[in-house]
Structure 1
Amino acid sequence: MIRTSFYASTAILLASALSSAPARADEGMWTFDNFPAERMQETYGWAPDQAWLDKVQAAAVRLTGGCSASFVSGDGLILTNHHCVASCLFDNSDAGADYLDAGFVAANRSDELTCPGQQAEVVTQISDVTDQVKASFGTLTGEALTKARDARIAEIETESCPDTEKYRCQVVTLFGGGQYKLYTYRKYSDVRLAWAPEDRAATFGGDPDNFNFPRYSLDASFLRAYENGEPVDTPNHLQWNPRAPEEGEVTFVVGNPGSTSRLYTQSQLAFEREVRLPITLATTSELRGRLIRAMDESPEKAREGLDTLNGIENSLKVYIGRTKALNDPQFTATLAEQEAELRRRSAGNSAIGDPWTEVEGAVDAYRTLYLPARFTSPSGSLYGYARALVFAAQEREKPNAQRLPGYTDSALPLTRKRLLDERPVYPWLDEMTMEWSLSKAREYLGVDDPDTRLLLGQESPEQLAERLVEGTRLADAAYRTQLWEGGMAAIEASDDPMIQYALKLAERQRELDAAIDEAYSGPLTAAGAKLADARFAAYGDSLYPDATFTLRISYGQVKGWEERGNQVPISTTMGGTFERATGNAPFDVAPAFAENRADINMATTYDFVTTNDIIGGNSGSPVIDRAGTVIGAAFDGNIHSLGGNYGYDPNLNRTVAVSTDAVQEALKTIYPAPALVAELSAK
């Protein structure tokens, strides 16, 4: 599952562009208002015009669960990955109907399943509001600067989107504070599941095959957007094109890459390597072990924990890849040289000054705040509900411009939806997760630390987690709605132990947030603007910013790579699934594949690779050809791309996609959905 991919083993990895140099080759997750058409024209002899870009932008979908997608019919049909709808399958399942395991095919549209918490969003406009936001800074510093910035952003978002039922406005920070862009979205809050294969079909090969190639994965599914109970009319959709990719052909990946750190300074990378990644690896590995042990207790727990386990294992692989990248001396030496070159080019520019030293000071201050900030907010769905309810009640009593991000007028509709949509909660899973996070807090903060005492009082992590999870009513969506609508009075009057616990922690969490704004976020905002100016002065404005889970487009080509002296092919076939199968998990063939083996066209192109530059959040992004038709859905990267968080290597980094050719074969033969086949074929 693409949430990044591993870095290479040699220094050529960063010969293209890293923290500061201009992009070359197929590198770049470009914003739609700054697509490098001239550069692509020089490389490929062709580039899309504005009409092509506008059409593709109108069909691109952001899913608020952290994935990308695209409209592929005029009736709101959305193509995305199976792992992007796994939670929807999970939330609609019970012991009698396990849709995650068995897959789901809606017999007709009235049978399509509502996906709790999901929202589909389409960018309708991108506006530059840099001057408006920066004008709020004045001579402010620290927390005052961040408050002024957030207040101005809240005002811009509210002024720009008075109709929050249909639209969402989001001001996005780019280049670490060098630019601010207003993204306006047409949103659809009723998203339903139309088709999904069995989990084993999408996850064939499991964790061993994750971030590897060859792959044999049907990681594709279909959602549908509704409004007022009817499918959304989407004339600006991508044309479905069920064909095999051709080696060397130009491809585009359009989606919402989540987060990259390619513009980080050396001090920021050092913090990742020395603090954040080691702690994350150690604690997440323990959580995985605890979960596996618990899932072994019963078939019910095995089913109920599967979606969580898949996410944990994917994240672990990403963190391991990033750790390897930042501990490779050749890799880090190249990063250091890139920064040194930018500093040389900026020397003597008084308007820029020395933002690198400013960032270093902010990072040093953050080192003392990181552990308490990380561990004073326990894990678990039920605690998450409690914290959101408490903060929402507190923030809604303030003027909009004074609220925290996430609780402003423009953000509240989505916050409310995620909080109040009905979905299952499994107490054992929530208790285990909370117990784990509390035990890690005590371990890293120390038994006698005031924050540990605040978290635990006289109880053990086990006792506290059990008392809170067993005593709360927050699994009931109706009760959450009652607290939301009752505001602060209802929160304070509640005798729910989880609500009271969240109230107790809220003051300390706000105190830490303020300290971080003062010592870290504020200085980074000021320094980030100077670093952006330095890059623009040195390399011009044909640069792409770090990923921010906003709409981007990358271009590349269908192309394999050389691995240990052997050429890796561009694609696999569906027949290869049976050749790779061993009969043992995770290489056991999905039941529907086995049942329909005689009817499957074994020569059908299954998964394929391209040189497109992607990262986590691009899951479900359409792979589009020169004609503007969709020929695949990106779902992973190869093992070399795990360092893509910090840089891109055109020789080794690859996107892995499932072909429309394979999805069409599955729709016709393996998980028959004739109505969808007809809908996709409509002109």
Structure 2
Amino acid sequence: MNMLKFVSSLGLVAVLASASAARADEGMWTFDNFPSAKVEATYGVKIDKAWLDRVQAASVRLSTGCSASLVSKEGLVLTNHHCVVDCAQALSTAKTDFVKDGFVIATRAEERKCPGMQAEVLTSITDLTDQINAATKGLSGAAFVKARNAAVAAAESAACAKDDKARCQVVSLYRGGQFKLYKYRKYADVRLAFAPEFATAFFGGDPDNFNFPRFNLDVAFVRLYEGGKPVKSPAHLTWRSTAPKLDEVTFVSGNPGGTDRMLTVSQLQTQRDLALPVSQLQRSELRGRLIQFSAESPEHKRIATDMLFGLENGFKVYFGRQFALNDPAFMGAKVSAETELRAKVAADPKLSATVGDPWGDIAKVQKVYADNYLRYRQLESAAGGGSDLYWHARELVRAAQERTKPSGERLPEFADARLPLMEKELLDDKPVHPELETLYLGFWLSKTREYLTADDPATKLILGKESPEGLAQRLVSGSKLGDPAVRKALWDGGLAAIQASDDPMIQFVLKTDAPAREIRKTWDAEVAGPTDAAAARVAAARFGVYGDAVYPDATFTLRLSYGKVAGWTYRGVTVPAFTTFAGLYERATGAEPFELAPRWIAAKDKLNPDTVFDFVTTNDIIGGNSGSPVINAKGEILGAAFDGNIHSLGGNYGYDGSINRTVVVSSAAATEALDKVYGQAALVKELTTK
């Protein structure tokens, strides 16, 4: 499908013309402010607190940036294949490729622990808005950021310090309009139970990505363990083995990663003109390097499959965002919506006196943003370019330095409440591939020299007399940080061990981290601090004008969206809501990415060709919702969300219910495949047992 032809943000114009309340099926709603009355009025189904509590208790957040759900009483969790492909890659070797061949086992004893993965179930939400606001009252810039971070760290520690099975996170909602403490029950032992072949989960590859019709079995199962035994999970969703019906009401419970629907016009212009073009240029070049790397040998292809998939997916996502922001009609609608809100504020003297002109304040920050963006990106936010060894080194160095300070005075990611997950991700045994490490690190070093110039003091400090490629090779080949025992010794040894280390990657970070810390300090004081303070006043304006009939931007916290099973019509072409197994075999060509896995060729005559494979709904989702359960009004699982259609790529900034669609792999297809393709009778029995 030609993206330039089919990506359209024009439908968003009607949605954005007024910033009042959410319309149609729009919204990623928090569980403590779900519009049950509106859903009942629209669809005739009643969603009460008991229903919400049940779904919340069965919804799972994965540290891989995905969503999931409990689907049996024995800790079995449904998610997407692409949410566990990193685990399958980590468990694979040159001789055993669980990505290519799938992870299909005979008994539960063969389930394998996913390194670095943690699962979390939300248990409570507590409003801390007044407490956080009191800590930052009257402050600005760096002082504002420091006071807020200290208050957040104190709240998280107070709520979770005495409970080693809990994780606490203070979340900013409405871009500073509210602060709420989310408390989770965490599970650090997550084991892979089933995953299909990559060719089956991602059938159609990049050409079909963000398109429909689709024929993907993008499902996987992990199991939660504690004390070496599967977790007992009576609060789980009911598995439905039959397909959904057209117009059936659907709900998606998951953790959308982030949206920018509440950004001001000046912020969107900065994304359009600076941040998106830079990131896409680098993403595009790195993609080419990975494609070339993958073509060099079968082993290179094996170790780069997951990386290339993620990079291509990201490129398409941000292309859609760029296209939306380049549309004059779309940006015109954003200007109109902002103008309407500002006019309503100006018409209310009391509200106007309270909020002032936060839009003007944010606009002033954009020049400072632009002046510092490249430096901040290259030295801080995107430092290392994806190199695990570099990231390990920087976390070890900074953790050793930060842990000498009181929790509230540290960089926020090193506060006491946040260290356990960092430690787990850092110390779990996960393979490191030196060839890929060298590629990523060398690319970052070369782009840093290009963007900051060879004469910049930071470039000179980083490279010295070496070339980017030569320095990357030296650092990677000499580092022992791929060994988790080495990382653990440095973590436990603290600052003394770090300073005494002769590991070249550790020494490189010690030598070069000062410019990164300096630009972060500048960013917090001159960009993040003023922006966050002003954004909180924009939020106050929204509340003052529209009340709580608006939902917050996504923040990778649990949300619920509502909709129905429905296809769509665009430019005279109607796209049906369902695909079937028969369509899969018709679409197969025998060549990548439309090549069937051997199991599926062998099982063709066993399968019901009319089984619904994938379907689409009007639910409002975004990245991070991958793996989210799609359920009906009875709380039965109809499938797992794994993608959006091409029109949804502008969904970062707005929603159009007439054409935006969520793409779902059906539980009916998963049941049929588990039974007749993979011979997973025990898994099917576990799923379907009442």
1:369 pairs with one of 366, 369, 372: 372
Aligned residues of 1:6 and 1:325 also touching (Cα < 8 A) = no
AA matched with 1:532: A
Residue 56 of structure 1: aligned partner: 55
What is the number of equivalent residue pairs in this alignment? 680
For 2:6 and 2:257, locate their aligned partners in 1 and report how far apart those are by CA, in whole Å.
18
- How far did 1:364 drift? 1.7
Structure 1 residue 138, shift from structure 2 partner: 2.3
- 1:409, CA displacement in angstroms? 1.0
1:593 matched to which residue of 2? 600
Aligned counterparts of 1:262 and 1:18: Cα–Cα separation in 2? 13
- One-letter amino acid matched to 2:158: E
1:184 maps to which residue? 183
Which of residues 522, 542, 552 is equivalent to 2:529? 522
Q: Which residue of 2 aligns with 1:97?
A: 96
Q: Please say if residues 261 and 653 of structure 2, whose CA atoms lie closer than 8 Å, have aligned partners that are also in contact.
A: yes
Cα distance 1:18–1:7, how it changes in 2: closer, same or farther (>3 A)? farther
Report the counterpart of residue 462 of structure 2 in structure 1: 455
**What corresponds to 1:444 in structure 2?**
451
How far does residue 7 in structure 1 lie from its aligned partner after superposition?
Answer: 8.6
In the TM superposition, residue 21 of structure 1 has moved relative to its aligned partner by 3.0
Residue of structure 2 in register with 1:472 after alignment: 479
Against the structure 1 CA distance between its residues 18 and 184, is the aligned structure 2 distance closer, same or farther, given a 3 Å change threshold?
Answer: farther
Q: Distance in 2 between matches of 1:6 and 1:131?
A: 48
Amino acid at match of 2:538: L
Which residue is equivalent to 1:149? Answer: 148
- Deviations along 1:319-376, one digit per CA (max 9) or x if unpaired, are 1111111101111111111111111111141111100011112222111111111112
Could you tell me whether the CA contact under 8 Å between 1:14 and 1:648 is conserved in 2?
no
Aligned letter for 1:457? G
CA distance in 1, matches of 2:9, 2:283: 28
Q: What residue is the counterpart of 2:220 in the other structure?
A: 221
Of 444-453 and 66-75, the range deviating more from structure 2? 444-453
Please state if 1:353 is matched with 2:356.
yes
The answer to whether structure 1 residue 81 and structure 2 residue 80 are counterparts is: yes
Deviates more, 1:670-679 or 1:114-123: 670-679
Q: TM-score normalised to the size of structure 1?
A: 0.98
Q: State whether structure 2 residue 674 is matched by structure 1 residue 677.
A: no
TM-score, normalization by structure 2: 0.97
Whether the 8 Å contact between 1:7 and 1:642 is mirrored in structure 2 is no
Give per-residue Cα distances to partners, 1:491-512, cap 9 Å, x unaligned.
0000111001111222222111
Task: Name 1:267's counterpart in structure 2.
Answer: 266
The letter of the residue matching 2:444 is: S
The SS at the match of 2:454 is coil
Counterpart amino acid of residue 96 in structure 2: A
Gaps of 5+ in 2: none
Q: Deviations over 1:548-580 (max 9, x none)?
A: 000000000001100331211011001111101
Distance apart, 1:488 and its partner CA: 0.3
1:109–1:194 CA contact under 8 A, matched in 2: yes
Q: Separation in 2 of the partners of 1:243 and 1:169?
A: 38
Correspondence 1:129-148 to 2 at 5 A: 129-148=128-147
- 1:6–1:366 CA distance, 2 compared to 1 (3 A): farther
Do the aligned residues in 1 keep the contact of 2:247 with 2:566 (CA within 8 Å)?
yes
Three-state SS of the structure 2 residue aligned to 1:501 is helix
Match of 1:505 among 508, 512, 515: 512
Does structure 2 conserve the Cα–Cα contact (< 8 Å) formed by 1:220 and 1:663?
Answer: yes
Distance 1:287 1:570 in 2: 36
Change (3 A) 1:546 1:128: same
Task: Give 4+ residue runs of structure 1 displaced > 6 Å after superposition.
Answer: none
Is contact 2:13–2:329 with CA below 8 Å preserved after alignment?
A: no
Following TM superposition, by how much is the alpha carbon of 1:6 offset from its aligned partner in structure 2, in angstroms?
Answer: 11
* Higher deviation after alignment, 437-446 or 209-218: 437-446
Once residues 162 and 241 of structure 2 are traced to their aligned partners in structure 1, the CA distance between those partners, rounded to angstroms, is 38
> In 2, Cα distance between the equivalents of 1:429 and 1:330?
42
Matched, 1:556 2:563: yes
Provide the alpha-carbon RMSD of the alignment.
1.4
Note if contact 2:116-2:428 (Cα within 8 Å) is conserved in structure 1.
yes
**Is residue 9–residue 324 contact of structure 2 (8 Å, CA) maintained in 1?**
no
Identity of aligned residues (%): 55
TM-superposed CA distance for 1:11, in Å, is: 2.9
Residue identity in the other structure for 1:670: V
Partner Cα separation in structure 1 for residue 38 and residue 502 of structure 2: 62
Give the C-alpha shift of residue 468 in structure 1.
0.3
1:639 is the counterpart of 2:646: yes
- The answer as to whether partners of 1:6 and 1:639 remain within 8 angstroms in 2 is no
Partner residue in 2 for 1:613: 620
- Report the counterpart of residue 11 of structure 1 in structure 2: 10
Amino acid at match of 2:460: R
Instruction: Note the alpha carbon deviations across 1:191-241, whole angstroms, 9 max, x for none.
Output: 000011111001110000000000000000100000010101110000111
SS in 2 for 1:251: strand
Which residue does the alignment assign to 2:275?
276
**In structure 2, C-alpha distance between the alignment counterparts of 1:623 and 1:435, rounded to whole Å:** 42
- Work out the CA distance in 1 between the residues paired with 2:246 and 2:404: 58
| 1:665 positional shift | 0.5
Residue in 1 that maps onto 2:426: 419
Alignment correspondent of 1:39: 38
C-alpha distance in 2 between matches for 1:454 and 1:360: 34
Query: What residue in structure 2 maps to residue 239 of structure 1?
Result: 238
Change (3 A) 1:371 1:613: same
**Contact 1:19–1:265 at 8 Å: present in 2 too?**
no
SS at match of 1:397: coil
Q: Which amino acid aligns with 1:336?
A: V
Unaligned runs of 5+ in 1: none
CA distance in structure 2 between the partners assigned to 1:304 and 1:529 by the alignment? 44
How do 1:59-74 and structure 2 match up within 5 A?
59-74=58-73
Q: Distance between the aligned counterparts of 1:602 and 1:302, measured in 2?
A: 33
Kindly state the Cα deviation for residue 263 of structure 1 after the two structures are TM-superposed.
0.3
Structure 2: how far apart are the matches of 1:42 and 1:341?
28
Q: One-letter code of the match for 1:657?
A: V
CA contact (8 A) 1:79 1:620 kept: yes
Shift of 1:164: 4.5
Matched letter for residue 525 of structure 1: D
**1:156/1:341 CA distance change after superposition, 3 Å:** same
Amino acid corresponding to residue 445 of structure 2 in structure 1 = L
Partners of 1:510 and 1:441 in 2: how far apart? 16
1:681 positional shift: 1.5
- Amino acid paired to 1:469: V
Distance in 1, matches of 2:39 and 2:165, equals 36
SS at match of 1:281: helix
Letter in 2 for 1:678: K
For 1:121-157, what per-residue CA distance to the aligned partner results, in whole angstroms no more than 9, with x for missing partners? 0000001000000000122110111000000000000
Distance 1:11-1:294 versus aligned 2 partners, 3 A rule: closer
Q: CA deviation at 1:165?
A: 2.2
SS of the residue corresponding to residue 311 of structure 2 reads helix
Tell me what 1:166 maps to.
165
One-letter code of the match for 1:203? F
Q: Distance in 1 between matches of 2:213 and 2:270?
A: 35
Q: Distance in 1 between matches of 2:660 and 2:634?
A: 25
Query: Residue 10 of structure 1: CA displacement?
Result: 5.3
Residues of 2 paired with 1:563 and 1:359: CA distance?
37
Partner of 1:650: 657
**Contact 1:147-1:402 at 8 Å conserved across structures:** yes
Contact 1:114–1:191 (CA<8 Å) still a contact in 2? yes
- More off after superposition, 621-630 vs 354-363: 354-363
Distance in 2 of aligned mates of 1:505 and 1:417: 26
